[in-house]
Amino acid sequence: MEPGSRSTILAIALALGVLAALPFAAAALGNPAMTTLATRILIYAIAAASLNLVLGYGGLVSFGHAAFFGIGGYTVGILFHHHRFNEALFGLMLGTDQFLITLPAAILVSGLFAAAIGALALRTAGVQFIMITLAFAQMLFFLFVALKRYGGDDGLIIRRRNGLFDLNMRDDTTFYFVTLVFVVLFFALVWRIVNSRFGLVLGGIRQGERRMAAIGVSTYRYKLAAFVISGMGAGLAGALWANYARFVSPDMMHWTKSGELMVMVILGGAGTLLGPLFGSAALILLETVLAAYTERWQVFLGPILIVIILFFRGGLAGLVDLVRKRP
Amino acid sequence: MSAILDIRAVVKRFGGLIATDHLSLDVQPGELHALIGPNGAGKTTIINQLMGEIIPDSGEIIFGGEPMAGLKPAARVRRGLGRTFQITQLLPDYTALDHVALAVQAHAGHSFHFFGAARADRRLTGPAMALLERTGLATRAGVKAASLSHGERKQLELAIALAGEPRLLLLDEPMAGLGQVETAQMVDLLKGLKGQIAMLLVEHDMDAVFALADRISVLVYGRCIASGSAAEIQANPDVKTAYLGEGDA
């Protein structure tokens, strides 16, 4: 999928049409669960697209992205907690349940964590980088397990979704559209970034760091910037998830969650714009469908993933290309 | 005139092997200085030390009057060093034009521009196309590096290096693996650059070296055993035994 090509624009328009019509179709079919399922897919699409920026475009295999997803979620959860009990946070400020405050806060806090973790992890490369990002994420996981003040491993319940203007956020269809707006904005942002000067440098780093150094690019600062942007995106997804589920727990940061995000990226097509959306949809739909038949659904998920990854090297986005190019 | 590059008693050991043995060498502004020597003489090792990819054990490298110690490769490039790789280092998914435009972009300053579409930016593609024309690659601008021929990759290496407007070019076997026609083209290209950019040329193709070099130094086991004009080197008995072989050169 070449970003900017006419077929990509067509695919995006089509996807947008389907997504906008979805809640109405769900209502018509008498199946409102479709809307919440789609909300989950969209939120994970943002998280996967964030990871795709570093993994797919930058070639940086971060195995700890669930950490930023969790940090974003906990930012919303903790702010709500302080708001609800009217306690000062760090003795400084009160909590809040306003979407327009919690969301930027979540993005900012996860960005700060990404800056700190990235600054250290990006001194390494290859397997070491994978391991060190995993280690940092697990450290945060255990930190929140131990943090009894915010529920420990039971997590934090958020009684009400954050308020946004006069919208009825309790309504799942309203929340779906709010999520959709963020998805559109975020994917548009990623599109701009990967085609910018910064994006070209990032893609160059994936393909050959030695070459990039030889043209005078100090790669570390660009990798770090990409890592921070990516962490912020995952934090945004986490904040949306906290509102969607009205619950945050350390499980959001567990390494299996990082693995799920990686599967979504690779399944959908690493380094493609819409791949993470396809990957998120495929994984969550497969999970839902298979789980309806058997408790041991992962036994069936594994082989399906292997087939897709073995036979469609560009992931699902590559499959879409293949089908489209058939005469 | 002071030298653009001054290598002073540089030593590099890899375990028991001495790859660079108290090597002193200079390149004058505008000069094409060729470095020849048998395989394993440490020619690429010295290029990698000049670039900062390998750190010398001792000695000094002065470029443009400034000591290079402690500077990373990218910082050296920004100070005016350019290099081509013996084994081409290209970005397989990027087109020839992408490569040169990226080099123009890197030379123009930082790349923290997140929004504008870089491939549509004339400030990058304009100079890049001009360089592709100069190196004979204009018709191949839209071809991905993975699909370029070996000769084209060598030309592209040079175009990328030139985009940085270097004061000194380090050319690591630019003719290696090229056919006769391609070699002649490359020699012409380098001749066209002579006088404008100082060059340190590592090359095995003796015809090319003798046609291009203002000065030739012979490296054997990391040491410089002779230095002089083409005629002097051809006449030097040590060089004949060490490198040129049974006097047939």
User: Is the pTM above the cut of 0.95?
Assistant: no
Task: Please report residues of A whose CB lies closer than 8 A to that of B92.
Answer: 207
- The confidence score (pLDDT) of residue A46 equals 97
Q: Is residue A273 part of a domain?
A: no
A23-49 pLDDT tens trace? 888 888 888 888 999 999 999 999 999
Instruction: Answer yes or no: are the C-beta atoms of B137 and B159 closer than 8 Å.
Output: yes
A215 contacts B102? CB cut-off 8 A? yes
A68-110 pLDDT tens trace? 999 999 999 999 888 888 777 776 677 888 889 899 999 999 9
Q: Is residue B92 part of a domain?
A: yes
Q: Is residue B210 part of a domain?
A: yes
Q: Is residue A2 part of a domain?
A: no
DSSP conformational letter for A91:
T
A242-298 pLDDT tens trace? 999 999 999 999 999 999 999 999 988 888 888 999 999 999 998 888 888 888 888
- Which residues, 6+ apart, have CB-to-CB distance to A161 below 8 Å? A169, A170, A175, A243, A244, A246
- The confidence score (pLDDT) of residue A325 equals 57
Q: What is the largest CA-CA distance in chain A?
A: 66
The proportion of chain A whose per-residue pLDDT surpasses 70, expressed as a percent, equals 95
State yes or no: pLDDT of B249 exceeds 50: no
CATH (domain of A105): 1.10.3470
- Mean pLDDT to the nearest integer, B121-144: 93
What is the residue range of A39's domain?
15-262
A208 contacts B89? CB cut-off 8 A? yes
Angle at A323 between CA A321 and CA A325, to 5 degrees: 65
B175-192 pLDDT tens trace? 988 989 999 999 999 999
CATH (domain of B125): 3.40.50.300
Q: Is residue A289 part of a domain?
A: no
Instruction: Answer yes or no: are the C-beta atoms of A242 and A72 closer than 8 Å.
Output: yes
State yes or no: pLDDT of B148 exceeds 80: yes
- Minimal Cβ distance to B91: which of A197, A204, A213: A204
Task: Please report residues of B whose CB lies closer than 8 A to that of A225.
Answer: 112
Task: Please report residues of A whose CB lies closer than 8 A to that of B125.
Answer: none
Count: domains in chain A: 1
> d(Cα B104, Cα B124) in Å, to the nearest integer?
6
Local confidence band at A186 (pLDDT 50, 70, 90 cut-offs): very high
Task: Please report residues of A whose CB lies closer than 8 A to that of B98.
Answer: 200
Q: Contacts for B186-191 with beta carbons within 8 Å, 24 or more apart?
A: B186/B154, B186/B155, B186/B158, B187/B211, B187/B212, B189/B134, B189/B135, B189/B136, B189/B155, B189/B158, B190/B32
A117-142 pLDDT tens trace? 999 999 998 899 999 999 999 999 99
State yes or no: pLDDT of A7 exceeds 90: no
B89 contacts A211? CB cut-off 8 A? yes
State yes or no: pLDDT of A8 exceeds 90: no
- Mean pLDDT to the nearest integer, B192-211: 92
Q: Name the β-bridge partners of B199.
A: B32, B169
State yes or no: pLDDT of B4 exceeds 80: yes
B61-99 pLDDT tens trace? 999 999 999 999 999 999 999 999 999 999 999 999 999
What is the residue range of B103's domain?
5-244
Instruction: Tell me the average pLDDT of chain B.
Output: 90
Instruction: Tell me the average pLDDT of chain A.
Output: 89
> d(Cα A264, Cα A244) in Å, to the nearest integer?
20
A200 contacts B111? CB cut-off 8 A? yes
State yes or no: pLDDT of B160 exceeds 60: yes
Q: Is residue B249 part of a domain?
A: no
The proportion of chain A whose per-residue pLDDT surpasses 90, expressed as a percent, equals 57
B106 contacts A217? CB cut-off 8 A? yes
Better-scored residue on pLDDT, A220 or A316: A220
DSSP H helices in chain A? 6-28, 33-52, 66-85, 99-121, 126-146, 172-194, 197-207, 209-214, 219-245, 255-268, 275-293, 297-311, 315-325
The proportion of chain B whose per-residue pLDDT surpasses 70, expressed as a percent, equals 97
- Mean pLDDT to the nearest integer, A157-180: 87
Instruction: Answer yes or no: are the C-beta atoms of B113 and A197 closer than 8 Å.
Output: yes
β B198-202/A88-89 pair status: unpaired
Local confidence band at B243 (pLDDT 50, 70, 90 cut-offs): low
Local confidence band at B39 (pLDDT 50, 70, 90 cut-offs): confident
ipTM score of the complex? 0.88
- Cβ of A303: how many Cβ atoms within 10 Å? 9
Q: Can you say whether the dihedral through the CA atoms of A52, A57, A62, A65 is positive or negative?
A: negative
Q: Is residue A313 part of a domain?
A: no
- Minimal Cβ distance to B112: which of A204, A208, A225: A225
